[in-house]
Structure 1
Amino acid sequence: MGTTHQTETGQATHWSGGAGRAWVTAQALLDPMFKPFEDLLVARIGAASAQRVLDVGCGTGSTTLAVARQLGERGHCLGADVSAPMVAAARARAEQEGSAARFILADVQTHAFEPASFERIISRFGVMFFDNPVQAFENLLRAASSDAELAFIAWRSAADNPFMTTAERAAAPLLPNLPVRRPGAPGQFAFADRQRVDSILEDSGWLGIDIQPIDVQCSLPENQLIDYLTQLGPVGLCLQEADQHTRKQVVETVRSAFDPYVHGADVHYTAACWMVCA
């Protein structure tokens, strides 16, 4: 849900600035929204004998912590992210929970992981932001044991996910500086093209590539919808700099655009994603 035109260095700056702070603030909203995806990844861990797991783009740590709970004392789970505020939040959550999960501030595209140190590498919406994805997945392959599995979830296209672009489509006439999404550029929908994802993984040396579409029913409370649309994504970032009049106009316009998704006290939408394994 971030902008889509950062370089990798720009991504670290981007996610350690306003975007990262917004995700920390919205953690209590986002974790339940994306829990269905977390559950899918945790179930894969539960069905395997993996004891050493790496969570790529771990954010504020929800999935990493869930995997650590699944592994128990037998396991080791490490979360990595480029966002300083999100890693700090994840570490605080782990300490509060008494979890053995660890978190590092690192760009997995270049980080010197110990070779062959992970039996499972997972990611929930954390692999679409690489400036050089082949390099990133090559580096992850070096960190993987010989029989390791890679399993990640990424968004399909913007066209397949109208809920995710409702705010920016509605706000565009009112926010002339709203960033334009560029197909294939680092960002939420960078892995929309199935063939591109397959080529990235093949070129980086992964084998047994399996890419399956999944359509997941998600929801959030209607009373948190204003927080969602004003804090996150391109519109949320633009509103951080907007004057009060513009902000009021945007909020009213965008909130109305979400009416088709509101059903009583809840907002329901379908998330169209890829489940990718290799």
Structure 2
Amino acid sequence: MSQIQPQPPAQTVSAEDWANERGQKWCDQLSAMEATLDPVDAPLIDALQLDRPLRIAEIGCGGGGTTLKILRNAPAGSSVHGIDISPALVEKARTRAATETGDIAFHIANGERAPAPAGPYDRLVSRFGIMFFDDPEAAFSNLSSWLAPGGRIAFAVWGPPPQNPWMTSLREAVVQVMEVPEPDPDAPGPFRYAGGEKLLGLLKAAGLRDLEVRDWRGTIPLGGGVPPEAAVDFAFSAFSLGDLLAEADAAVSADVRRRLTQRYAQHETDGAVHMDAHVHIVTGTRPD
């Protein structure tokens, strides 16, 4: 078994990473990433309860795909803002929104400490953007201040790793051929709030009420619906463990690729890899 030293804990990605290399990497894979995560958008937008003209902000908006969907689903007269820490992703989002006729804007800001760019907001939404704060207590307290009294949140976070094989299959293939550290469950990363209770406690401490967790279970089309070999390329490019594989011996990388291709092939239907996913959609309100 091969070993690379030194290494950071696998699947640990900080806000600073997103502002720089990780944000650029997401930008480079934007079409495939948005197509992969597309099934989560509808239940998340539904949880926002867009029942009248509203001021809405998406935290960690990335390249703006979900922000644009929110604008198109919101009642006329709504204002929608996308917030992200990555300049590359915000620039991409602004370019995509240039032809939109509705009230939409994108801002470079860190929700952990920045004031609301144009608040207060009636709705705050995030699709997998709240798990990477360096100081989550401060972050959720700050985001609560962005909300108008009576305002509502809808945050999507990943459920337990065993119920998200679309994401964990790469790690399972890697650990068969090389040693990697166990991820720190309390560090910034995709499964930080997999249990749900930790996030509920943070949101309650931030002053939010009427908190509820609804689970969404479905299938994720890797790379937007591509065959196993292309899905492996997507995983190597999109997931943080791909950075370790880029440093590994070529034979190790090839072994992981072979194992992962075999795994993905078991989930191929009509030329596309679809794998199970489990998402917590957490809602709550700021008291009047």
Q: TM-score range by the shorter chain?
A: 0.7 to 0.9
Task: Work out whether residues 116 and 146 of structure 1, in 8 Å CA contact, stay in contact via their aligned partners in 2.
Answer: no
State the Cα deviation string for residues 136-190 of structure 1 (Å, max 9, x = none). Answer: 11111111010100111111111222221101110124444x4531112211000
Taking a change above 3 Å as real, the CA distance of residues 48 and 134 of structure 1, as seen in their structure-2 partners, is: farther
Taking a change above 3 Å as real, the CA distance of residues 69 and 150 of structure 1, as seen in their structure-2 partners, is: same
Task: Work out whether residues 80 and 105 of structure 1, in 8 Å CA contact, stay in contact via their aligned partners in 2.
Answer: yes
Task: Work out whether residues 179 and 234 of structure 1, in 8 Å CA contact, stay in contact via their aligned partners in 2.
Answer: no
Equivalence for 2:213: 211
How many percent of aligned residue pairs carry the same amino acid?
Answer: 25
Equivalence for 1:265: 271
Q: In the aligned structure 1, how far is the partner of 2:103 from the partner of 2:253?
A: 42
Q: In the aligned structure 2, how far is the partner of 1:242 from the partner of 1:97?
A: 44
Residue 87 (structure 1) aligned with residue 94 (structure 2)? no
Q: What letter matches 2:12 in structure 1?
A: H
CA drift at 1:235: 2.4
Taking a change above 3 Å as real, the CA distance of residues 86 and 121 of structure 1, as seen in their structure-2 partners, is: same
Residue 248 (structure 1) aligned with residue 254 (structure 2)? yes
Equivalence for 1:5: 12
Q: What letter matches 2:137 in structure 1?
A: V
TM-score by length of 1: 0.88
Equivalence for 2:138: 135
Q: What is the DSSP-based 3-state SS (H/G/I as helix, E as strand, rest coil) of the residue aligned with 1:191?
A: coil
Q: 1:277 aligns with which of 254, 277, 283?
A: 283
Equivalence for 1:31: 34
Q: What is the DSSP-based 3-state SS (H/G/I as helix, E as strand, rest coil) of the residue aligned with 1:77?
A: strand
Worse overlay, 151-160 or 42-51: 42-51
Equivalence for 1:185: 187
Give the RMSD, CA atoms, in angstroms: 2.4
- Bigger fraction of residues in helix: 1
The within-5 A match list for 1:3-152 is 4-6=11-13, 10-12=14-16, 14-45=17-48, 47-71=50-74, 74-95=77-98, 97=100, 100-113=103-116, 117-152=120-155
Task: Work out whether residues 122 and 150 of structure 1, in 8 Å CA contact, stay in contact via their aligned partners in 2.
Answer: yes
Task: Work out whether residues 18 and 237 of structure 1, in 8 Å CA contact, stay in contact via their aligned partners in 2.
Answer: no
Q: What is the DSSP-based 3-state SS (H/G/I as helix, E as strand, rest coil) of the residue aligned with 2:161?
A: coil
Q: What letter matches 1:144 in structure 2?
A: L
Taking a change above 3 Å as real, the CA distance of residues 240 and 124 of structure 1, as seen in their structure-2 partners, is: same
Taking a change above 3 Å as real, the CA distance of residues 175 and 23 of structure 1, as seen in their structure-2 partners, is: farther
Q: In the aligned structure 2, how far is the partner of 1:146 from the partner of 1:214?
A: 28
Query: Would you identify which runs of 4 or more consecutive aligned residues in structure 1 move more than 6 Å?
Result: none
Q: What is the DSSP-based 3-state SS (H/G/I as helix, E as strand, rest coil) of the residue aligned with 1:258?
A: helix
Gaps of at least 5 residues in structure 2 are: 1-8
State the Cα deviation string for residues 6-61 of structure 1 (Å, max 9, x = none). Answer: 5xxx422x123332222112211122221121122333446422420010111111
